[in-house]
Amino acid sequence: MVNNLFNWFLATCIAVIHPFYVSKIELNHNAKDKTIEVSIRVFTDDMESTLQAYGKTSVNLSAPKNIAATDNLIKNYIAEKLTITIDDKPTHLDYLGFEINRESVWMYFELPNIATLKKININCNLLYEYKKEQMNIFQVKANGKDKSYKLDNPNSHVLFTL
């Protein structure tokens, strides 16, 4: 019992002293609508700091001064940092918007005209310039399968076969 309590205390102290830097990127194939729905979840303060450096402008995602400029900044940053190829064909992420949910920001994209798929090739270096400890976790749901993978900075490539 004491050992478990000590391990919990140590893990808690380490988490407080050394916070973690992670994003979650979900890709969900909607066969009926022939789309891949892409959701990206990042800690809000990490994304704000990254966008400020990227756009050389002040960014407050909770209360943006100019929503169109903020949307454009997010769209351009993600397009530069995340590329997805479906069955060896390049795609273009259609930006849908973002929302704040507690301490994180959710950004939504869509890949249209994807009736079927066999493989998803992803290149991602999202927030790698922000923290060397950054990791990006992917979850892909398609063809009745659910696969996950974690990319640790500086690794930026993953291939899902479905």
Q: What secondary structure does DSSP assign to 50-101, as a single string? A: HHHHHHTS---TTS-S-HHHHHHHHHHHHHHHEEEEETTEE--PEEEEEEEE
Determine contact, residues 160/120, Cβ cutoff 8 Å: yes
pLDDT digits (tens, 9 = 90+) for 92-148: 999 999 999 988 999 999 999 999 999 999 999 999 999 999 999 999 999 999 999
pLDDT digits (tens, 9 = 90+) for 48-99: 999 999 999 999 999 999 999 999 999 999 999 999 999 999 999 999 999 9
Q: What is the pTM of this model?
A: 0.87
